[in-house]
Amino acid sequence: MRAVIAEDLALLRDGLVRLLTAHDFDVVEAVEDGPSVLGALIGHRPDVAVIDVRLPPTFTNEGLLAAIEARRQVPGLPILVLSQYVEPLYARELLSDGAGGVGYLLKDRVMDVGQFVGAVRQVAAGGTVMDPEVVSRLLAKRVRDEPLGRLTTREREVLALMAEGRSNAAVASNMVVSEKAISKHIANIFVKLDLAPSDDDNRRVMAVLAYLNS
Amino acid sequence: MAGAGAGTGRAVPPDTNAMSKDVSDRGSSAGAAGESGRVGRWIARLFRATAGFSGLSSDAPASSGWPWAAKWRVTSFGIFLGLAVTVVWAVTGAHYFWPGWIWFALALPLAFQGAIRRALRTNGRRALAMHAAVSLVVALAGIVIWLLSGHGYFWPIWPFLGLAIALAGHAWLVPMLPNNREQALRERVAVLTRTRRGALDVQAAEMQRLERDLHDGAQARLVSLGMSLGMADELLDIDPAEARRLLVDARIAAGDALADLRALVRGIHPPVLADRGLNGAIQALVLAVPIPVEATIDLPEARLALPVESAAYFAVAEALTNVVKHSEASTAWIQVHLADGKLSIVVGDDGIGGADPEQGTGLRGIERRLAAFDGTLRVSSPPGGPTLVTMEVPCEPSSQKTSPS
């Protein structure tokens, strides 16, 4: 699987390259500043890219903007955005094209190597992975407005876990219920959020987006 | 021409000018201060012209438009002219001493220049000093004219009387003028002293909080992490299972330390504010509020001055926190706009009202923080609502651009 990495700190960049290489990724390019990110993404069209939000020369959110622009040019280009902090606003911007294949995680998550690599693979496969902190910060909002207000507490829990990018099986084991029960909850969520039956993956993204937009 | 230069500087120091603008914003002696600035400028210009014309200057050549040599030439020319007419008078028979009039005409601008320069050097009542100096020169000129014209009846007594009455009237009026510039400046200094102390207090308290948070948070967690790693190192060969458990502990401690640092950074300078400026940061704040908030933000593309941006951000955050905590509102709204060098922020809600800024430290802290920028905070919150928190801060966009997009 071909990967592109964008990270300005050499220590972390080398660490990411080593980590991904050890897990059978082929890191085709590792760039260190904002202006080269877009070129690398469009040039290589990797199976997955891991990009730091904050890059030189402005050290603001160039990585994020490059990711959004790359996905505008190549819809659905799988990108996992890493950051020292997570901001629900950015999560919403990343997801707003509704195409999936997007992840937004705290850099801390790299410490749990197994889970991190799992997240990279999931993004590569077109899934959506949101950091639990994004999800929990949004969960802290009392949900009053429609249409999320229509969801039961249980359904909202399922939606939160979906937003973190977990599969049905993972959600089921987390909530200690059967996978079948989870499928039923998810079907209910789709109906309540007026998501027409289509590609299941896409509906998951749309559901998460509705959740982030609440 | 440092004399004239300094005179100009004193008449209208640029910051004094700005200050008088600020003062006028506060509604006190606006007109008086502005007026005296204009008069000062006008006098300075006149003074410069006079000094240039008379050509007398002992000042450094670099400080004026007039090259030193040229001025010296004009002065020498004046002296030469005086001598020349005297010679002409002597050669033509030395009758009535008419060159006295020429000398008088040449000396008059010098006398005015000297008097005005001296007057400008006084502190405080400069207008009065100027008036006295000009009156003195006019009186002396009268005496000289009286002497040159054959000192008959001492008619200059009448202009003397007129000048003296005018001067006495001026001197009598000055202390009675309300809110003169001096008074306005004194008030301004008092405000600045108070707000500066407030700003420093806030800063010192912040620093202390940061120190404590670091000490009890990230630092403690890093120590624990180091201990776990050290013990894991010792146990690696003897008890691999326990070593692995300690490694997991270490990883958790590292994660907690990072979480602490993140929370700390958010409190100092929220990353989203650094990334997106006030506009984006307020949108991010709104996203975290559990009730619908309508944000109308009208800000220029250029970033605001960073300290103002930060103070405004924390002010909005505090106002929104209050809405959520106390107002029982179902909707809220934020209006932000920059016009006429003033940043205006209104945070309103449809809650129960009755908010009192005197209670609780949140709004007071915001008020003190804004005061450091001459900003103000007003709260209108009648029982039954709605609550409106209005903040205004003088502010210009800085040259720094928002992130390239």
Pair (B253, B299) in one structural domain: no
CB contacts of B264 in chain A (<8 Å) are none
Pair (B38, B147) in one structural domain: yes
pLDDT at B15: 41
Q: What stretch(es) of chain A map to CATH 1.10.10.10?
A: 141-213
Residue B394's closest CA among B326, B338, B346, B353? B338
Pair (B222, B289) in one structural domain: no
Q: Among all chains, which residue has been given the structure tokens 């877009």?
A: A38
Domain final position from B149, B179, B209:
B179
- Whole-angstrom distance, CA of residue B63 vs CA of residue B3: 9
CATH superfamily of the domain spanning A2-130:
Response regulator (3.40.50.2300)
Domain count, chain B: 3
- Whole-angstrom distance, CA of residue A91 vs CA of residue A209: 9
Domain final position from B146, B179, B212:
B179
- Each residue's pLDDT expressed in tens, for chain B with a length of 405 residues: 333 333 333 333 444 343 433 433 443 444 444 445 555 565 556 555 544 444 444 444 444 445 566 667 777 888 888 888 888 888 887 778 888 888 888 888 888 888 888 888 776 677 788 888 889 999 888 888 888 887 788 888 888 999 999 999 988 887 776 656 778 888 889 989 988 888 888 888 888 888 888 888 888 889 889 889 999 999 999 999 999 999 999 999 999 999 889 888 888 888 899 889 999 999 999 888 888 899 999 998 888 888 899 999 999 999 998 898 888 888 999 999 998 889 999 999 998 988 887 776 788 888 888 888 889 999 998 998 899 999 999 987 765 544 443
Q: Among all chains, which residue has been given the structure tokens 């709104």?
A: B286
Q: Which of A89, A142, A145 sits opposite B283 (nearest CB)?
A: A89
Identity of the residue numbered B271: P
Q: Which of A58, A89, A144 sits opposite B291 (nearest CB)?
A: A144
Pair (B253, B304) in one structural domain: no
Q: Which CATH architecture has domain A141-213?
A: Orthogonal Bundle (1.10)
Asked if residue B87 lies in contact with residue B101, where contact means CB atoms within 8 angstroms, the answer is: no
Asked if residue A2 lies in contact with residue A19, where contact means CB atoms within 8 angstroms, the answer is: no
Q: Among all chains, which residue has been given the structure tokens 């009387």?
A: B161
B62 touches chain A (CB under 8 A): no
Pair (B163, B193) in one structural domain: no
Pair (B213, B309) in one structural domain: no
Residue B221's closest CA among B167, B176, B259? B259
Pair (B31, B144) in one structural domain: yes
In angstroms, the Cα distances linking B401 to B312, B328, B385 are 18, 38, 39
Asked if residue A211 lies in contact with residue A138, where contact means CB atoms within 8 angstroms, the answer is: yes
b/e per residue B207-217 (b: at least 16 CB within 10 A): eeeeeebeeeb
In angstroms, the Cα distances linking B167 to A78, B58, B129, B180, B206 are 85, 31, 10, 18, 56
Pair (B123, B147) in one structural domain: yes
- Whole-angstrom distance, CA of residue B80 vs CA of residue A149: 99
Cβ <8 Å between A89 and B262:
no
Give the number of other Cβ atoms within 10 Å of residue B234's Cβ: 13
Pair (B299, B345) in one structural domain: yes
| Alpha-carbon gap: A111 to the closest alpha carbon of chain B (Å) | 7
CB contacts of B404 in chain A (<8 Å) are 58, 62, 65
Pair (B331, B364) in one structural domain: yes
pLDDT at A136: 75
| Alpha-carbon gap: A179 to the closest alpha carbon of chain B (Å) | 30
Pair (B86, B200) in one structural domain: no
Q: What stretch(es) of chain A map to CATH 3.40.50.2300?
A: 2-130
What's the domain range around B303? 273-401
Pair (B70, B195) in one structural domain: no
Residue B367's closest CA among B324, B303, B307, B311? B311
Q: What is the pLDDT of residues A118-150, one digit of tens each?
A: 999 999 998 889 888 887 776 666 455 556 777
User: Can you give the CATH number for the domain in which B343 is found?
Assistant: 3.30.565.10
Long-range contacts of B182-188 (CB under 8 A, 24+ apart): B182/B124, B183/B29, B184/B20, B184/B23, B184/B28, B184/B29, B184/B32, B184/B33, B185/B16, B185/B19, B185/B23, B187/B23, B187/B28, B188/B19, B188/B22, B188/B23
Domain final position from B179, B210, B229:
B179
* DSSP three-state, residue B123: coil
Cβ <8 Å between A62 and B265:
no
Q: What is the pLDDT of residues A17-65, one digit of tens each?
A: 999 999 999 999 999 999 999 999 999 999 999 999 999 888 889 999 9
pLDDT at B244: 93
Identity of the residue numbered B250: A
